[in-house]
Structures are given as structure tokens and as C-alpha cells.
Structure 1
Amino acid sequence: MRFRSWFAAAALLLSSFAAHAAEPIKIGMLFPQSGGAGDDGQRVTKAVQVMAELINAQGGVLGRPIQVLIRDDESTPAVGVAKANELIGEGVSLVIEGYNSPVTLAIQPVLARAGIMDITVLSKADGILANNNNPLAVRMNSSNAMDAAAIADWLMHSKAHRIAFATQNDAYGNGAQAGVEAELKKAGWPYEIVSQQSFPFTATDFRVAVTAIKDAKPDAVSVTNSSGGSGMPAFLQQYAQQRGGAPVVAAVGTISPTVLAIAGAAAEGVASADIYFADVEPFKSYKANQDFVAALRTNHLLADKFTALGGGALQVWAIAANQVKSLDKEKVANAIRGKTLPGTIFGDATFAPNGQMQAHFFTTTVKDGQIVVQQ
């Protein structure tokens, strides 16, 4: 028994050495590393690097180590396109991207024409997987259409008929609001938009918008702002300062520990929903999640939805590549799209035929500075 245990340990060690000695597989990481989304982008990037270390320690992919090449898209479509072309020139096998929907929508055709597999981490616009022009595309995060039902349910449960919308004016924000309205109409819920406020992703001054919302006396405020490092906390702070009064529901996934740390007491009572929590069942019982959370902690990183989706993107690709024993992009993509992959951070991860990972939504409320999950 001791000999077999020693032999197994030695085999794993030799496998790890072999992976590190082989030519690395280049993976592109195209995410904001600067600007308002820079802090979030850097966290997701570090999470992908942590996952790469875990995979490499287990022998890599097809016996080869993963090398992550990082590029800053600056949350700007034109910059994203330029950086995507850089990664294509580097000969990457995969591009992990997607903090901002406009950037994702701009770079996906570039990657598709180059035949590069593309996994979107966070971007939610429904147009990202809306057609069959890119059979190599996969998305980890839920889409606007998937999110809409969770937010609409909250509004109806809260008896909100007079609704104020504060919406990021881009493909993501406008799509999120349109989805919520479509769900309310589908349910036959009578509602009136008493205030419509739109703003760019870079906005941090919401005083005029908050005043208009307060004066409209809504039953609830639906806010969509994907800038966790500046825009969302600024909106909540300014809304609290003016004593807006009506309860706030934030778009799915936009209330993060980063938002709470910056917004402070202004975030108290804000409702939302999300698809992953490291310490909530079923996730806390998944071995892959436990290992990932422990590795993040060692690297002084917080386990949240952003880091899980980033790390999960690389993990899913690695599992699929090892399953088909090939780096052929079509074979790997086909092993993910329309399939279920076991042993991921998300347990058995199921993907629709168009590459969209399926998800369960958990309603949340901020209480005493913490995100409380309603199961």
C-alpha cells in the first residue's frame, strides 16, 4: 500500500515536471487592466492565472503547461480589437475575454474570422451569442435575457408599479432594461416608467439623475451599472445622500464585495441576484470549488462570481481539451457547446448548444455590509 501511494505521488510529480518541460499552450486574457473597471479586471485576470497554476500542477493540458498572455482592452471597443489582433498574432489557442458587452461585441467577429476559440466571462448582451457566425464562442455568465426574470420577479414581489430605471446606456444596460420590461409585460404586470435615467459606463456623477428619480416618487428603482469600482458605488452613495427613499434593485451580478467596500452604508438594503457564491450550497460542497477557493485565498484573492467565472472559463476549456485529447478548436468547442462537463467550479456545468452556460439564480440583499443570500 505504501509503495502504491509513493508510486502514485511520484507519477503525479513526473507528470507535473513533464508539463512544465513541454512547450506551453498560449492562452490570451483580454480584460480591462486600467480605468474604472481595472480593479475588477485585474482580479479576474489573477483568478485565471491561479486556475492556470492549478491545472499546470496536475499535468497541464495534454501534458503541456498553460501560459497566460495578458492584454488590457481599456474597456474600449477599438482598443479591444487591436489587442485581439495582437493575441491572434501570438498564436493563442483561446481568448478569455469579456468585461464590457460593447468590447465583446466588437472583438468577437475578429476572433471568429481568425478561427480563435473565444470564452466570454462576464459580458451579458444578448447579441453575443445571438447567431451562428461564431461556432467557437462560449459564455460563462448569464445573459440579459436570463437575468431579466429574476429582476422582474423581485419588482412584482415588491408590488412595484411605478418604476424608475437608471440604466447604463450601452448594449448591456439597454438590453438588461428591455429584458426586464419584456418579463413584466409577459406576466401581465401593470407598470409605469416614472423616471428614465441613462448614463455612460464611465459616469460617476449621478446627482441630477438621482434628483429626478426622487422627485418621481417611484415604488422601486431598477439600476443597471456594471462599473463595480466606481459607477455603481457612486450611484448608491448619491442616492443615499439625497434620501431617495424607494427600494433599489440592482441588475444581476452588479453588487459585489468591491461595491460594498466602496459604497459602505449606502448599499444597505439593496436587492439583487446572482448565480454563484463560494460558501453557499451547492458550490461549497464541490471539490473543484473548494480547491479553487483555497488557491485564491493563498494568493490573497476573494472568491466571488467574477473570479469564479474567470477561473471557470479556463477550467472548462482545459477539461474539454483533455477530454477530446486535442487542441483543435472545433473539437474543443463541440465538447463544450450543448454538453455537460463534470468536475468544474460550478459542479456539472451544462452549456446550451449556442455555448451559453446554464445557471440558477439566488436572490440577495445587502444587510450589515454583507451580501445575504435568500435560498
Structure 2
Amino acid sequence: MMAAGLLASGVQAQEDPIKVGVIFPLSGGAGPQGKHVNWAIEAMAKMINEDGGVMGRQLELISRDDESTPAVGVSRANELISEGVDVIIEGWNSPVTLAMQPVIARAGIMDITAISKADPILSGEGNPLAVRLNSSNAQDGAVIAKFIADAGATRIAFLTENDAYGTGAQASIEASLKEMGHDYEKVAEELFPFDQADFRVQLSNVKSANPDITIAINANEGLGMPAIIRQAKRSRLPGTLVAAVGTVAPSVIEVAGDASEGLVGADIYFPNVEPFASNEVNRRFIATTEELHDYTPDKFMALGATALQVWAMAANEVESLEKEAVANRIRGGSFENTLLGDITFGENGQLNSNHYIFDVTDQQIVVRDSAN
């Protein structure tokens, strides 16, 4: 009887769902975008469960709100660690990710950063086995610098979020301009906190500098970036307003409205543009997300979903949920048939991405022909 009881207990343990922790802002300025990323991860979990799960077990998501605050993020990470999760997918704000990394690493849990961009995330200091899906500040900086050089712009202004993400993004753009030997003058530099929504003073200062191009670096897509776009239009800011890579989703354009006309940006994923439009996995992901939430996924949602998809593919391949085994399969590895297509990670855990420059026309993202 005891042996039978132990066997039954073992079978039950094997059938228990795998707990996946998810930490993004669900309130505040970035709350809407964080909720959308949660929706996307939910859609991917549904797809994975329909296909048999991970090592035959279903996935169960446990979500937490980091409130875009490092201390709260650490508290939420500790909650998920106590819940016994096997992996945590996190990261909208770089300062929050940097605060959570060492806590999750010490717990021996796999940590995948979906969105946060600061270069120190992959330094190995906070998490020696870091993995990130979103493009890095260094990658993005090269793309924006090339756009500036190709446009022949020489008078450059910066509206920059004053944190690890924002200042790192600006530094990467300037470093790339220097590396390519493009002569330019930084005619204005205005710093602001993440939660700022009134940029009239900063825009007045930038306007008086008469820039050819103003680079707006703002990760607060629910509040800050739409406000910059609207207020820049009202101020009649000269030159071209260029959004930092990955800071303009369709939701930003929807809030900014007509003021977004003529905005230039760059990104790495568009749901209905090649090479993504014909990708069967991406099409299934879009259909599942729309079925669950009546919402077409954007780049951030695709990255969150791909984070879970890649982790599941790696765990199934190595037949283990153990952090080192899964992380080592991802870092430096390649994966076929993801919703982003066939992808490769660098040895440092950074996803290698193609960037596409786009213009906003009639409140729609119009992708230019070539990828960078």
C-alpha cells in the first residue's frame, strides 16, 4: 500500500504544472504595455500547452506588477521565488531589471529579460547567465546613428530619460556617430525622469537650438512618449523628431493621434510586414492573441512571447528545467521556427536582431524597404 501511495504521489508530481513567473508593470504609465506583454505570454503559453507543454507538463503563469519601481520589482521577484517558479520572464524598465537580476540569480532560477535595454543587463555582474530578447542599446545606437549620417544631419538634440536605459541609449548613439566619423554638433541635451509628462520647458530649449534632428529617448510608452510627440508638434519643433528604437508601438501612435504624422523610428518586429507576415508560427501567435484579447500584438508582445517560446524549446531539448542547462542551450544557440523566424543568440545571451526604419503616415507605421 505504501509503494502504491508513493507511485501515485510521483505520478501526481509529474503532472503538476510548471510555474512560470512574469514580472512587468501592470499599473502606472507603462501599465497598459505591461498588460499587453502579459497577454502575449499568455497566448504563447496556450500554444505551448496545446502542443504538449514542456516535457509533457502544462505551463501555469503567475504574474506580478513591478510598478516600474526597482524596490517593488525585487519584492515581486521574491514572491515568485517563494511560489516555486522554474523561470521568470521580466523586464520593462532597465533599473527594475538590474535590481531584480541578482535576487533571481541567487535563487538559482532562470531569468529571461524580454524588454529592458540597458547594456549592463548582459554584463554578467547581476546575472552570469543572462538572456535578453530585445535589442541592446549598443545595437540600437548604431541604427539611429546610421540614420543621422545618411540624412546628413549635423545639428542633433537629445530628449533623454535620465536612467540606465536613457543615458545608455544616448551614449550608444553618440559612440556610433563617433565611430563612423560623422561630424555633428550636440546643440541641446534635456534630461527628464521616467514618470514625467510635461516636456514644454525641455522642448522650448530644444526648439531654440534649431536642431536638424531631435532624438526622443523615452521608455514610458503609456504616458511620456505620446506626450513628447504631441507637445513637440504643438511647439512646432524644427527638423525631424526621431524616436529611439522600440519606443513607438501602435498604442503610442493611437494616443498621440495626428501629432505622430512624420515621426521616424526603428524597430525589430512588425506583425503584418515581411518577413513576419508569412511566418506560420507568428500568424498562429497573432490569431491566438486576437482570440484571447481582441488585440493585435506589437513588438514588445512578440518579445515577451518569444522569451517563453525559446525557454520552452530549450527545456524540451535538454530535457531539464535546471537553470544552467537551459541557459547554456540558449546563450550562443540558434532556434528554428520561432514567431520571429530562425534566430540566434550571442554568447552573452543577446538575441541578434534586424532593425527596420519606419515612418508614421496617417497614424500607421510604414516600414522602409531594407533592414539594418
TM-score between both structures, scaled by the size of structure 1 = 0.93
Which residue of 2 is the match for residue 198 of structure 1?
Answer: 191
CA RMSD of aligned residues (A): 1.5
> What residue ranges of structure 1 are gaps of 5+ in the alignment?
1-17
Please point out which of 55, 63, 70 is paired with 1:70: 63
Q: Is the 8 A contact 1:20 1:56 kept in 2?
A: no
Q: Secondary structure at the match of 1:83?
A: helix
2:217 aligns with 224
Equivalent residue letter for 2:352: Q
Query: Out of 325, 334, 337, which is 1:331 matched to?
Result: 325
Comparing 133-142 and 286-295, the one that deviates more: 133-142
Hey, what's the Cα distance between the residues in 1 that align with 2:12 and 2:64? 25
Q: State which of 179, 182, 190 in structure 2 corresponds to 1:189.
A: 182
Partner of 2:5: none
Is 1:254 the counterpart of 2:244? The answer is: no
Whether 1:373 aligns to 2:347 is no
* Percent identity (aligned): 54
* Aligned residue identity for 1:87: L
Contact residue 89 and residue 111 of structure 2 kept, 8 A: yes
Q: Deviations over 1:103-161 (max 9, x none)?
A: 00110011111111111011000000013663432100000001001100111122211
Q: Secondary structure at the match of 2:153?
A: coil
Q: Would the alpha carbon gap of residues 214 and 178 (structure 1) be closer, same or farther in structure 2, given more than 3 Å must change?
A: same
- Aligned mates of 1:328, 1:79 — CA distance in 2: 27
SS class of match (2:41) = helix
- Post-superposition CA distance 1:274-333 (Å, at most 9, x none): 011111221122221111011111121222101100111100000111111111111111
Distance 1:320 1:131 in 2: 21
What amino acid sits opposite 2:325 in the alignment?
Answer: K
Letter in 2 for 1:59: G
Match of 2:367, as an amino acid?
V
The C-alpha deviation readout for 1:66-108, integer Å capped at 9, x for no partner, is 0000110000000001110111111111000000000001100
1:131 aligns with 2:124: yes
- Superposition pairs of residues 169-180 of structure 1, within 5 angstroms: 169-180=162-173
CA contact (8 A) 1:19 1:64 kept: no
SS at match of 2:60: strand
1:47 corresponds to 2:40: yes
Q: Is the 8 A contact 1:49 1:68 kept in 2?
A: yes
| Distance in 2 (alpha carbons) for counterparts of 1:333 and 1:347 | 20
Pick aligned residue for 1:164 from 150, 157, 162: 157
SS in 2 for 1:284: coil
Distance 2:174 2:138 in 1: 11
Distance in 2 (alpha carbons) for counterparts of 1:279 and 1:45: 21
| Structure 2: segments with no counterpart, 5+ residues | 1-10
Question: Is 1:316 aligned to 2:299, yes or no?
Answer: no
Distance 1:132 1:63 in 2: 34
Runs (4 or more) in structure 1 with deviation over 3 Å come to: 18-21
2:288 is aligned to: 295
Say whether the 8 Å CA contact 1:292–1:345 is kept in structure 2: yes
- Find the aligned partners of 2:235 and 2:326 in 1 and give their Cα distance: 52
Name the counterpart of 2:300.
306
- Counterpart-to-counterpart distance in 2, 1:328 and 1:114: 12
Amino acid at match of 1:260: I
Of 36, 49, 74, 1:81 maps to 74
Secondary structure of the residue that 2:277 maps to in structure 1?
Answer: helix
Q: Could you say which residue in structure 1 is the equivalent of 2:110?
A: 117
Counterpart CA distance in 2 for 1:272 and 1:105 is 26
What is the TM-score when the length of structure 2 is the normalising length? Answer: 0.94
Larger displacement relative to structure 2 (38-47 or 187-196): 187-196
| Preserved CA contact (<8 Å) 1:19 1:59 | no
Does residue 34 of the first structure (1) align with residue 27 of the second (2)? yes
